[in-house]
Each structure stands twice: as structure tokens, then as C-alpha cells.
């Protein structure tokens, strides 16, 4: 995350309650040493953590916000505050390594250079392997004064229970569609279809914004078109696998998993949260075929997440062949 910003970071409109709860603890000097910010990816947990850190470090906060003027805010605006550490997997790594956690523990143990709070953000916390997590436990058990550890996670169940139990959990559920749409509308060009963006981002507003910024919506629309062409026999699995080599395999799998989940829940609940073309497609096949296909997508996703490095073209071909099979069954 790039911390150099032109303005102080503020919480998002749907984070009012969480902010109030933590601010009350802070004002009453009851802030715990570690907070676990838990909730789906793309709802703004990183933004919240940064806003909170800037607020706690500010010399003269007003109305529950950092002032943006003081020396500490100056450091934070430049992204160079010596007492704020941000720990994330290094580039291309999936895990937070033990050396990174050791560095963090050491930093937390030292006196704050600016005399205020020392804050460490660990994101995503589930990226810690068992050794990293054990290294962190020590500083959770013997915290030093004026330190705050913010652990961010999309998957709290993947954290060691001993880590979870030493943190106070603050939940960040998905905001309502109304809240997300209102917020997106203030940020996107007026011709943008915010409903479609939010739909493709599975209701996660920051993920929707990211889709817009990297032309993700166009890419997803192309995936959609291509896949429908495949299952109606207008393009072969082989050609499509080749065509899709430009896309990240993880993106394709996430998209297909979302589409299949929508089809399945639409069938179960009798609702139609997906386009007509997909509904017609689903009507041609049995629900158990959709479940089997979703299973294959999830298995491949899991193996990628565990660090497997399959032959992309072969893996895609197999999945696309299975798609044809299942939709024609």
C-alpha cells in the first residue's frame, strides 16, 4: 500500500460504528494492544487502519480526525512516519515471513521515536505462516506501553486460535448496496454503470473502484462473452484457453466461481441475480453439474493459493472442457 497521500485519510461512510467503538476505548484509555479487523476483502479495512493510525498519532486531533497540520500528520502524509510500520507479503510472495515479523516485534519493543503511539499494521494477517505467527505471539503476550497492533484479515478462521484470542475483534461486514452505490457515485465519472461495477465486485465497494481503475469491468465483460461463446459451441476449449493466457488465472477462477455461485443460489432461491444468457444456460443442465463445476474451480483456486504452479494452459483447457461437458449434460 502506498502511504504518500495528499490529504489525511478518513474512515469510510459505513465504518462509523467501528470507528466509534475504537475511539471510545481510546478516549477512556482502554484501548487493547491488538485489534483484529476482520471482514471481506474490498470493504476498506486497510483504509480504516491507516485513518486510525493517523488519528492516534496526531498531536491535535479534532472532531475524531487527524488534523493534517501537525508534525506527526506531516510524517504520515509523506508516508514516512517512523513509528508506523506496515507489514505485508513481499512482492510476489504469498506469505509474511518470519524475518518481517521479527522486525516488527523489535520495532514494537523500542521507544517511539516521536514519543507517541507505535503502530504496526499486519495485512493480511492470514498470510503469516506458523513460524511468523509464533514470532508474533511473544509481542502479543508481553506488549509494551503505547503500542497498537492492527491485524487485518479476510479469513479469521485461518489464524492461529492463540493469535485470535489475544486480539479484540472488530468486524467489518459488507456495506449495504445503498451505502456502496452512494459512495461510488461520488467518485466515478457520471457515465459509469456503478450497479454493474458493484455487481461484478460481489458487493465490495473498494473492489468495485479497483475494477474501474484498471479497466477490470471490460475484462470481465470479455470473459463473460468468451465463456458464453464456449458453452454454446462457437469457440473451442483449446482456442479459448489460448486466448485467455493474457488473463491472470486467479482472476478467471474468481470470476467463474462468482458466476457459478450466483447461478446455483439463483436456482436454490428461485431468484435471478444473473443475466438471461446465463439463466438459459443453467436451465439446460442439472444443478449437481453446476456444483461439480464449482468444485473444480475451487479446487484449482485452493491449489494456487497453496503455492502450486500448474501449467496454466493445460489447467485452463481442462476446466473449459469440463465446462462444455457440464453445460451440455
Interacting residue ranges for Zn ion, rule: CB under 5 A: 58, 66-67, 70, 73
State which residue, 73 or 184, has the beta carbon closest to Zn ion: 73
State which residue, 76 or 153, has the beta carbon closest to Zn ion: 76
Do 273 and 300 touch, CB atoms closer than 8 A? no
Strand order through the sheet with 34-38: 84-87, 118-122, 147-153, 34-38, 168-171
We find the least distance from the C-beta atom of residue 68 to Zn ion, in angstroms, to be 6
Sign (positive or negative) of CA dihedral 156, 158, 163, 164: positive
Residues 6+ apart with CB under 8 A from 10: 51, 65
We find the least distance from the C-beta atom of residue 23 to Zn ion, in angstroms, to be 15
State which residue, 23 or 154, has the beta carbon closest to Zn ion: 23
We find the least distance from the C-beta atom of residue 247 to Zn ion, in angstroms, to be 43
Residues 6+ apart with CB under 8 A from 266: 272, 273, 274, 279, 282
We find the least distance from the C-beta atom of residue 312 to Zn ion, in angstroms, to be 48
We find the least distance from the C-beta atom of residue 51 to Zn ion, in angstroms, to be 12
We find the least distance from the C-beta atom of residue 5 to Zn ion, in angstroms, to be 14
State which residue, 51 or 209, has the beta carbon closest to Zn ion: 51
3-state SS assignment for residue 278: helix
The x, y and z cell numbers of residue 223, run together, are 470473459
We find the least distance from the C-beta atom of residue 61 to Zn ion, in angstroms, to be 6
Do 183 and 204 touch, CB atoms closer than 8 A? no
State which residue, 70 or 228, has the beta carbon closest to Zn ion: 70
The span from the CA of 142 to the CA of 149, in Å, is: 12
Number of CB atoms found within 10 A of residue 15's CB: 23
Helix locations, 123-174, DSSP H: 130-141, 161-165
The span from the CA of 124 to the CA of 198, in Å, is: 23
Strand partners, 36: 151, 169
We find the least distance from the C-beta atom of residue 19 to Zn ion, in angstroms, to be 17
Number of CB atoms found within 10 A of residue 226's CB: 18
State which residue, 65 or 254, has the beta carbon closest to Zn ion: 65
The x, y and z cell numbers of residue 204, run together, are 465490495
State which residue, 58 or 127, has the beta carbon closest to Zn ion: 58
Question: Rounded to an integer, what is the distance from CA 279 to the centroid of its chain?
Answer: 29
Residues 6+ apart with CB under 8 A from 242: 313
State which residue, 68 or 156, has the beta carbon closest to Zn ion: 68
Amino acid at each position: 500500500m502506498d502511504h504518500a497521500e495528499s490529504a489525511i485519510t478518513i474512515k469510510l461512510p459505513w465504518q462509523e460504528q467501528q470507528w466509534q467503538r475504537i475511539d471510545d476505548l481510546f478516549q477512556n484509555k482502554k484501548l487493547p494492544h491488538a485489534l483484529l479487523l476482520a471482514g471481506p476483502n474490498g470493504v476498506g479495512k486497510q483504509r480504516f487502519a491507516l485513518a486510525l493510525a493517523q488519528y492516534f498519532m496526531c498531536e491535535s486531533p479534532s472532531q475524531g480526525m487527524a488534523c493534517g497540520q501537525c508534525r506527526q500528520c506531516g510524517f504520515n502524509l509523506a508516508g514516512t512516519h517512523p513509528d508506523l510500520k506496515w507489514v505485508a507479503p513481499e512482492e510476489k510472495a504469498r506469505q509474511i515471513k518470519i524475518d518481517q515479523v521479527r522486525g516488527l516485534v523489535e520495532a514494537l519493543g523500542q521507544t517511539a521515536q516521536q514519543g507517541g503511539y507505535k503502530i504496526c499494521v499486519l495485512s493480511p494477517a492470514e498470510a503469516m505462516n506458523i513460524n511468523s505467527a509464533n514470532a508474533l505471539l511473544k509481542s502479543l503476550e508481553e506488549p509494551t506501553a503505547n503500542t497498537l497492533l492492527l491485524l487485518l484479515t479476510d479469513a479469521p478462521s485461518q489464524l492461529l486460535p492463540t493469535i485470535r484470542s489475544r486480539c479484540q475483534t472488530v468486524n467489518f461486514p459488507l456495506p449495504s448496496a445503498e451505502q456502496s452505490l452512494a459512495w461510488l457515485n461520488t467518485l466515478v465519472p457520471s457515465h459509469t454503470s456503478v450497479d454493474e461495477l458493484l455487481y461484478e465486485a460481489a458487493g465490495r465497494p473498494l473492489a468495485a473502484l479497483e475494477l474501474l481503475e484498471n479497466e477490470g469491468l471490460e475484462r470481465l465483460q470479455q470473459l463473460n462473452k468468451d465463456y458464453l461463446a464456449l458453452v454454446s459451441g462457437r469457440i473451442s476449449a483449446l482456442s479459448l484457453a489460448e486466448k485467455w493466457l493474457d488473463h491472470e488465472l486467479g482472476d478467471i477462477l474468481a470470476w467463474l466461481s462468482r458466476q457459478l455461485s450466483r447461478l446455483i443460489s439463483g436456482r436454490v432461491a428461485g431468484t435471478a441475480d444473473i443475466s438471461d444468457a446465463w439463466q438459459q444456460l443453467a436451465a439446460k443442465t442439472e444443478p449437481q453439474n453446476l456444483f461439480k463445476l464449482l468444485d473444480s474451480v475451487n479446487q484449482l483456486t485452493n491449489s494456487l493459493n497453496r503455492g502450486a504452479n500448474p501449467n496454466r494452459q493445460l489447467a485452463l483447457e481442462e476446466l473449459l472442457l469440463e465446462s462444455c461437458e457440464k453445460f451440455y449434460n
